[in-house]
Structure 1
Amino acid sequence: MTPPPSSRGRGSGGPARPRARKLGAVRRSQLVTTYGVGAMIAVENESFIVSGIDSWNIDDAPIINEGRLANAFPGIDFFRLPPAPDPEYGIDGVRVRRFPEFYSCPDCNALQSYKEFNCLPGRARCPDCDEDLVPSRFVLACDDGHIDDFPYWKWVHRGNALQSGFCGGKLTLKTEGSAASLRSVVVSCSCGVQSVSMEGAFRVKALKELGIRCEGRRPWLGGAKPQPCARHPRTMQRGSSSAWHPVMRSALSIPPWGEGIHQLLVQEKLLDAPESVIRWHFEQRPALLKRNKATVEEVVIIAREIAAQKAASAGAEAGSDDLYAGLREQEYKRLRNGNPERHSAERQDFICERPEGDIAPVRELGVVEIMLVKRLREVRALQGFTRGVAPLESEPDHRLAALHQSDINWLPAIEVKGEGVFLRLDEDRLQAWETKPEVIKQVEQMRLNHLALLRERTPADSKAKASGSPVSPRFVLLHTLAHVLINEWSLDGGYPASALRERLYANESMAGILLYTATSDSAGSLGGIVAQGDPKSLSETLRSALARASWCSNDPLCMESGASGADSVNLAACHACVLLPETSCELNNSFLDRTLLIGAPSGEVPGYFQASGV
Structure 2
Amino acid sequence: MTNRKLRVRQAQTIVPFGVGAILETQGESFVAADTGRWYLAKSEVVESPRLAARLKVSGFRSAPAAKNDFFDNDKAAGVPCVRFPEWLFCGACRRMVRWNNLLEKPGHPPLCPSCPRNPALVPMRFVQICPRGHMDDVNWPWWAHSRPKVAAQPCGGKNEHLSFLVDDTSMGLEALRVHCRRCDSGRDLLNLLDHKSTHCSGKHPWKRGSAENVCEEKALVVPRNAGNLYYPVTCSALDIPAPEDSGGPPLDPAVVDRIREEHHLWQAFLSAEGAKRRTLASMLADDAKVTEEELFILATYETGQELPVGREGFAEASSHAEELSREEWEALNTRVPITEKNLVTRPLSWPEGRTAVQELLRERFEVTVADRLREVRTLLGFSRVTPSLNSLVPVTGGPRASWLPAVEVFGEGIFLSFDEDLLAAWEAEPSIRERVAGISWELGQAFQQERLLGVTGPKLLPRMPMLHTFSHLFIRQLAFESGYGIASLQERIYARPGGRRHQAGVLVYTSAGDTQGTLGGLAAQGAPEPLAETVLRLLESGSWCSNDPLCSEHGARGPAALNRAACHACTLLPETSCETGNTLLDRVLLIGGNGVPGFFQPVIEAALDRAARTARGQA
User: How do 1:262-341 residues align onto structure 2 when only pairs under 5 Å count?
Assistant: 312=305, 320-340=317-337
- CA change 1:96–1:574 in 2 (3 A) is same
**2:54–2:320 CA contact under 8 A, matched in 1:** yes
Name the structure 2 match of 1:548: 541
Moved more, 232-241 or 582-591: 232-241
Quote the Cα distance in structure 1 between the aligned partners of 2:82 and 2:441: 42
SS in 1 for 2:322: helix
Name the structure 2 match of 1:158: 146
**1:246–1:386 CA contact under 8 A, matched in 2:** yes
Name the structure 1 match of 2:98: 113
User: How do 1:398-409 residues align onto structure 2 when only pairs under 5 Å count?
Assistant: 398-406=390-398, 408-409=401-402
User: How do 1:243-254 residues align onto structure 2 when only pairs under 5 Å count?
Assistant: 243-254=229-240
**2:414–2:522 CA contact under 8 A, matched in 1:** yes
> Cα offset for 1:357?
3.9
Quote the Cα distance in structure 2 between the aligned partners of 1:324 and 1:169: 49
Moved more, 578-587 or 101-110: 101-110
> Cα offset for 1:103?
0.9
1:364 partner amino acid: L
2:409 partner amino acid: V
SS in 2 for 1:84: coil
Name the structure 2 match of 1:189: 180
Name the structure 1 match of 2:10: 28
> Cα offset for 1:432?
1.8
User: How do 1:390-405 residues align onto structure 2 when only pairs under 5 Å count?
Assistant: 391=387, 397-405=389-397
Tell me whether 1:55 sits opposite 2:37 in the alignment.
Answer: yes
> Cα offset for 1:481?
0.7
2:80 to 86, 89, 95: 95
Quote the Cα distance in structure 2 between the aligned partners of 1:85 and 1:222: 21
**1:72–1:320 CA contact under 8 A, matched in 2:** no
Quote the Cα distance in structure 2 between the aligned partners of 1:522 and 1:497: 18
Tell me whether 1:126 sits opposite 2:112 in the alignment.
Answer: yes
1:506 to 482, 492, 495: 495
Quote the Cα distance in structure 2 between the aligned partners of 1:373 and 1:437: 37
**1:81–1:412 CA contact under 8 A, matched in 2:** yes
Quote the Cα distance in structure 1 between the aligned partners of 2:174 and 2:62: 45
Tell me whether 1:367 sits opposite 2:349 in the alignment.
Answer: no
Name the structure 2 match of 1:412: 405
Quote the Cα distance in structure 1 between the aligned partners of 2:544 and 2:420: 27
- CA change 1:502–1:128 in 2 (3 A) is same
* Structure 2 residue ranges without an equivalent (≥5): 245-300, 606-619
SS in 2 for 1:364: helix
> Cα offset for 1:324?
2.2
When the two structures are superposed, what TM-score results if normalisation uses the length of structure 1?
0.77
Quote the Cα distance in structure 1 between the aligned partners of 2:86 and 2:536: 56
2:599 partner amino acid: Y
**1:80–1:411 CA contact under 8 A, matched in 2:** yes
> Cα offset for 1:567?
2.5
Name the structure 2 match of 1:16: none
Moved more, 510-519 or 399-408: 399-408
> Cα offset for 1:313?
5.9
Quote the Cα distance in structure 1 between the aligned partners of 2:307 and 2:460: 29
> Cα offset for 1:455?
8.9
SS in 2 for 1:398: helix
Quote the Cα distance in structure 2 between the aligned partners of 1:558 and 1:41: 36
Name the structure 2 match of 1:584: 577
> Cα offset for 1:609?
1.4
**1:339–1:350 CA contact under 8 A, matched in 2:** no
Tell me whether 1:200 sits opposite 2:222 in the alignment.
Answer: no
Quote the Cα distance in structure 2 between the aligned partners of 1:37 and 1:222: 12
Quote the Cα distance in structure 2 between the aligned partners of 1:436 and 1:231: 48
SS in 2 for 1:174: strand
- CA change 1:148–1:413 in 2 (3 A) is same
Moved more, 168-177 or 248-257: 168-177
> Cα offset for 1:447?
2.1
Tell me the alpha carbon deviations over residues 172-227 of structure 1, each in whole angstroms, 9 at most, x when there is no partner.
11122187622221112235465322123223xxx12xx11333321111223445
- CA change 1:228–1:398 in 2 (3 A) is farther
> Cα offset for 1:546?
1.1
- CA change 1:227–1:605 in 2 (3 A) is farther
> Cα offset for 1:533?
1.6
- CA change 1:24–1:180 in 2 (3 A) is farther
2:133 to 137, 141, 145: 145
> Cα offset for 1:554?
1.2
Name the structure 2 match of 1:284: none
**2:365–2:419 CA contact under 8 A, matched in 1:** yes
When the two structures are superposed, what TM-score results if normalisation uses the length of structure 2?
0.77
**2:130–2:218 CA contact under 8 A, matched in 1:** yes
Tell me whether 1:354 sits opposite 2:343 in the alignment.
Answer: no
Quote the Cα distance in structure 2 between the aligned partners of 1:106 and 1:455: 40
Quote the Cα distance in structure 1 between the aligned partners of 2:450 and 2:176: 32
SS in 1 for 2:367: strand
Name the structure 1 match of 2:266: none
SS in 2 for 1:579: coil
Name the structure 2 match of 1:212: 198
1:571 to 559, 564, 569: 564
Sequence identity percentage? 34
User: How do 1:58-97 residues align onto structure 2 when only pairs under 5 Å count?
Assistant: 58-74=40-56, 76-85=57-66, 87=68, 90=71, 91-97=76-82
Quote the Cα distance in structure 2 between the aligned partners of 1:490 and 1:235: 40
- CA change 1:157–1:585 in 2 (3 A) is same
Quote the Cα distance in structure 1 between the aligned partners of 2:528 and 2:29: 52
Tell me the alpha carbon deviations over residues 244-279 of structure 1, each in whole angstroms, 9 at most, x when there is no partner.
232211101111389xxxxxxxxxxxxxxxxxxxxx
SS in 2 for 1:567: helix
> Cα offset for 1:60?
2.2
> Cα offset for 1:166?
3.1
Quote the Cα distance in structure 2 between the aligned partners of 1:330 and 1:453: 28
SS in 1 for 2:559: coil
**2:147–2:186 CA contact under 8 A, matched in 1:** no
**2:141–2:160 CA contact under 8 A, matched in 1:** no
Quote the Cα distance in structure 2 between the aligned partners of 1:553 and 1:96: 45
2:380 partner amino acid: Q
SS in 1 for 2:40: coil
Quote the Cα distance in structure 2 between the aligned partners of 1:370 and 1:45: 48
- CA change 1:368–1:87 in 2 (3 A) is closer
Name the structure 1 match of 2:466: 477
Quote the Cα distance in structure 2 between the aligned partners of 1:504 and 1:457: 17
Quote the Cα distance in structure 1 between the aligned partners of 2:37 and 2:51: 24
> Cα offset for 1:237?
1.9
SS in 1 for 2:550: coil
> Cα offset for 1:342?
4.6
> Cα offset for 1:579?
0.4
- CA change 1:484–1:522 in 2 (3 A) is farther
SS in 2 for 1:354: strand
User: How do 1:443-458 residues align onto structure 2 when only pairs under 5 Å count?
Assistant: 443-454=436-447
> Cα offset for 1:25?
2.7
SS in 1 for 2:598: coil
2:482 to 476, 487, 493: 493
**1:362–1:368 CA contact under 8 A, matched in 2:** no
Quote the Cα distance in structure 2 between the aligned partners of 1:582 and 1:358: 36
- CA change 1:214–1:221 in 2 (3 A) is same
Name the structure 2 match of 1:176: 167
> Cα offset for 1:59?
0.5
- CA change 1:445–1:142 in 2 (3 A) is farther
